Structure 1
Amino acid sequence: MTRRSLGLFWVLVSLLVFLLGHPSTLALGFGKESIADTQISADLVFPDYLERDGIIHNYEQQVRQSPDSFLLLRLLADHYLKRFRERADVEDLLRAEQAARRSLALQPRHNEGASMLLASTLLSQHRFQEALQVVTDAEKLTATDQLASLKASIQMELGDYESAHQFLQTLTSESEDNSGHNAVLARYLELTSHLSVARQQMDSAMQQMDEFYTNPAETRAWFHVRAGDLSFLAGDLARSEQRYREAITLFPHDVAAFTGLARLYAAQHRWQASLEAANQGIEWVPLVETLAYKADAQQALGDSSGAAATQDLIEVVARLSQVKGIYDRALAVYYSEHGVHLPEALEIAQREVAIRDDIYAEDTLAWAAAANGQWQTAQRATRQATRYGTEDPLLRFHRGMIALHSGDRETAIQQLSEALRLNPQFHHKYAAEARQVLADLSPTKVES
């Protein structure tokens, strides 16, 4: 891989840290390796995040001395974006956007790295169409596999899975050795009902990242978190826990990993462990989703006053975090699941669909509409959310329960059974509810 290609690769990987018709065949070149059994030792981690402030300070000084250097501005944008990933400070995201724009203004051609950085900052602000336009413009100047992978990622965020599939098929065989490309491919496979192969693909990408000690710790951790998420969907809870813990070994501030553990432990009704994991994540960044698991754990442990205080904090964080809608979806999910602020949950979900009509925006809308008693909207949205057969038990549960309310007994049994088949412990409350509904409808359909 050339130095130029290596730079573009890191920008694509940085983007993927943000992210996350049913084709009959997939000519995409995925591997057939078995699920890896990787273990991470702390002495094999390069703690670059500890030096981030110093690196940024150095580049800021150099940019002041050489304000017309497109390369220095691009490098500075890259490190601002890395620090945003590590600390979730939106100001760093805006700094990265400004530096990337300045780099492109100075060097519009042969500067794909700056285009990809700019697209990544826009994606993180949920400015999806702007991000897509940036990549499309860059492709007109220089078409590369990295830009194609990035475009496919953006198209999946927008719900255009057919176009994403077409772009993934155009990539060269060299891309198969690129962990960033493999992660994009794993996401596509996950969303289009190929969960088992997606797990294989993601583990392959994770192993590629772990081969080099100097790869950024937070980025390496992201690959482990994604592998953990896919394992959870498949009901492989032991492997999921392992992956999340590996991510924390790599990057001790990894809020996504702590949130994943809090969800996993809640699903197992290991409430004290869930509370501890949520608290550790909140210590770094108080996300709505992580706080929600804390509140649920406190309630389950009998700490009603603590749960109420956490719920109040969620409201504060929600108000402070709604910078250009970045955290809207998580808030709509929380409101819908807990039966609070339901009209606002529906409004948020509708806004999400307008911004990016992907599978999970439709699912959020379906459940929010159901919570508000708008069953026709719920039926339409849940059919859209499951139209590719995505093997996510929560999507299947939502469709099953909406079908049940609509009098479609057959679909309800089919979808609820599939949710439990995928992961018998997919949710701390809904898994038991699915079992009870199936027992009432058809006892022979209940999974053990």
Structure 2
Amino acid sequence: MTALVAPRLPRPRLRRIRPILVVAASIAIIAGSYIVTAIRPATVTNPISQAVAPEQPALAGPGEAPTGGTAGIAAIDHALKAWTANLARNSKDFLSATYIATLYDARGRLTGDIGDYSRAQTAVAQALAIVPDYAAAQVLRARLLQTLHDFPGALAAAQAILQKDPTVLQALATAGDAKLELGDVKGAAAAFASLEAQAPGPAVTARLSRLAFIQGETASAVSLAQRAWDEATAAGQTGGSLGWYAYLAGMTAISTGSPDAALSWFHKALEVWPDSYLAIAGEARAEAALGRSDDAIATYQQAIAIAPQPDALAALGDLYALRGDARLAADQYATVEAIGHLAAINEQVYNRQLVLFSVNHDRDLSDALQLAQGELAVRKDAYGYDADAWALLANGRAIDADDAASKALAFGTRDALLLYHAGEIAHAVGDDARARDLLGQALAIRGALDPLSASRAQASMDALR
């Protein structure tokens, strides 16, 4: 296990802080959410700014995480105590507040705990309340908004930074990421092209892979994901910083119909990032796609023991249900619902997962529709229209669902789930020829559908023959 490079802790009474690198690649964005490149140190007019600010990270990948697993969490917690004590002694210490925010951000990437990101937000807000024009904290705030799925807020924050200084590449990355999540594919492409021209490397290549997948260019998505891994390896990245690129390649492989390749990528990720709940859950998904249900169940259990994420819990529940274990399935489903209702921020972050879970398991269908349409009001991307379409169908509004599904497919994304949903909706409106075509396309992307959706898609296809 690669040990986390922990911050050098300040002596309790010292007021001046030595330069440190808080955590290797600690400023990465969670899934889907991305980070980028070296940024020059910001200047601040406040007298306290004569102290050294948190160093900016080197070029890092879209979802890189700190290395070290539980050891990394312990190191972060140890550092948090020191910086929190500093801030308690001096409520105007905006540097300590920024370090605290950075550490909680890093902690969240290891734990998957939304509460860590919320605590990071609180700390960065405190830093900006002390020094509103502190650029490092402004950039961190924009990324945290992206992480917590406030994409309009993230975009506005990033654009405000860029208006003052167009050379802040991390803000440009956040703006591009937010645009992609909001359905502005052209705007995202322009931002990523600008990034590639200014700072080529794995972080940008990974973004281009995601963009290619959204645009339906699946072969390009696969090759770009491979290239991002190669670039990260050549750059000497290690641990979670490197492992994330293997995870990206694995997710791209399974989404494009190559579960065997995906499993190899997830194994490669775990070689350098052994405690990654993302890579472990990816491994379980690939095992399930390959028909290795017992292995998948055991692997999902490992991922959930590290970080109980709704997707993994629902997938584990479905595997239990498919093998006839209703009690264990119900336990997983209950946990998904509990997470969704635990806090308002959970509902925001897990919006689409909760919508699809509710529809797929016939729970709270009117609430699912309300949740989907609330999200779609501000986030008009392919997956927003898809979630809306699926919820509309479940609520007996097949014609409206067909319109929403058509808008989802208009993005050109070759995602088996979008195709499956559109096929079921086409069947519901009586267009069986279109339904057969769409369902056939979904099933042809080998292993891309989860086992429950795949079984239902195949049943519908058989009924239409």
Per-residue CA distance 1:168-199 (angstroms, 9 max, x = gap): 2333523222x222222222111011122122
Provide the C-alpha distance between the structure 1 equivalents of 2:286 and 2:361, rounded to a whole number of angstroms. 18
Per-residue CA distance 1:340-389 (angstroms, 9 max, x = gap): 32222222212221242221121111112112221122112111111121
Choose between structure 1 and 2: higher helix proportion. Answer: 1
Deviates more, 1:54-63 or 1:83-92: 54-63
What are the residue-to-residue correspondences of 1:96-245 with 2, within 5 Å? Answer: 96-109=120-133, 111-144=134-167, 145-171=169-195, 173-177=197-201, 179-211=202-234, 217-245=239-267
Query: Are 2:384 and 1:361 aligned?
Result: yes
Deviation at 1:402, TM superposition (A): 1.1
Seen in structure 2, the aligned counterparts of structure 1 residues 171 and 317 have a Cα distance that, compared at 3 Å, is closer
Provide the C-alpha distance between the structure 2 equivalents of 1:346 and 1:336, rounded to a whole number of angstroms. 9
Percentage of pairs with the same residue:
25
Deviation at 1:59, TM superposition (A): 3.2
Query: Are 2:306 and 1:292 aligned?
Result: no
Report how many residues are paired.
411
CA contact (8 A) 2:375 2:384 kept: yes
The SS at the match of 1:15 is coil
Deviation at 1:212, TM superposition (A): 5.7
Provide the C-alpha distance between the structure 2 equivalents of 1:362 and 1:288, rounded to a whole number of angstroms. 21
Provide the C-alpha distance between the structure 2 equivalents of 1:267 and 1:97, rounded to a whole number of angstroms. 38
Deviation at 1:155, TM superposition (A): 0.8
Query: Are 2:334 and 1:312 aligned?
Result: yes
CA contact (8 A) 1:149 1:184 kept: no
CA contact (8 A) 2:114 2:346 kept: no
Seen in structure 2, the aligned counterparts of structure 1 residues 196 and 55 have a Cα distance that, compared at 3 Å, is farther
Q: Which amino acid aligns with 1:121?
A: L
CA contact (8 A) 1:52 1:83 kept: yes
Provide the C-alpha distance between the structure 1 equivalents of 2:230 and 2:102, rounded to a whole number of angstroms. 23
Query: Are 2:121 and 1:84 aligned?
Result: no
In structure 2, the residue matched to 1:60 is: 84
Provide the C-alpha distance between the structure 2 equivalents of 1:53 and 1:312, rounded to a whole number of angstroms. 31
TM normalised by structure 1 equals: 0.82
In structure 2, the residue matched to 1:281 is: 303
Provide the C-alpha distance between the structure 2 equivalents of 1:437 and 1:314, rounded to a whole number of angstroms. 27
Deviation at 1:337, TM superposition (A): 1.3
CA contact (8 A) 1:77 1:97 kept: yes
Per-residue CA distance 1:307-365 (angstroms, 9 max, x = gap): 22333333323322543522222111111112232222222212221242221121111
Seen in structure 2, the aligned counterparts of structure 1 residues 433 and 329 have a Cα distance that, compared at 3 Å, is closer
Provide the C-alpha distance between the structure 2 equivalents of 1:334 and 1:45, rounded to a whole number of angstroms. 29
In structure 1, the residue matched to 2:58 is: none
The SS at the match of 1:269 is coil
In structure 2, the residue matched to 1:267 is: 289
Provide the C-alpha distance between the structure 2 equivalents of 1:357 and 1:436, rounded to a whole number of angstroms. 31
Provide the C-alpha distance between the structure 1 equivalents of 2:110 and 2:366, rounded to a whole number of angstroms. 34
Query: Are 2:20 and 1:19 aligned?
Result: no
TM normalised by structure 2 equals: 0.79
Q: Which amino acid aligns with 1:366?
A: A
Q: Alignment RMSD, CA only?
A: 3.1
Unaligned runs of 5+ in 1: 21-42, 443-448
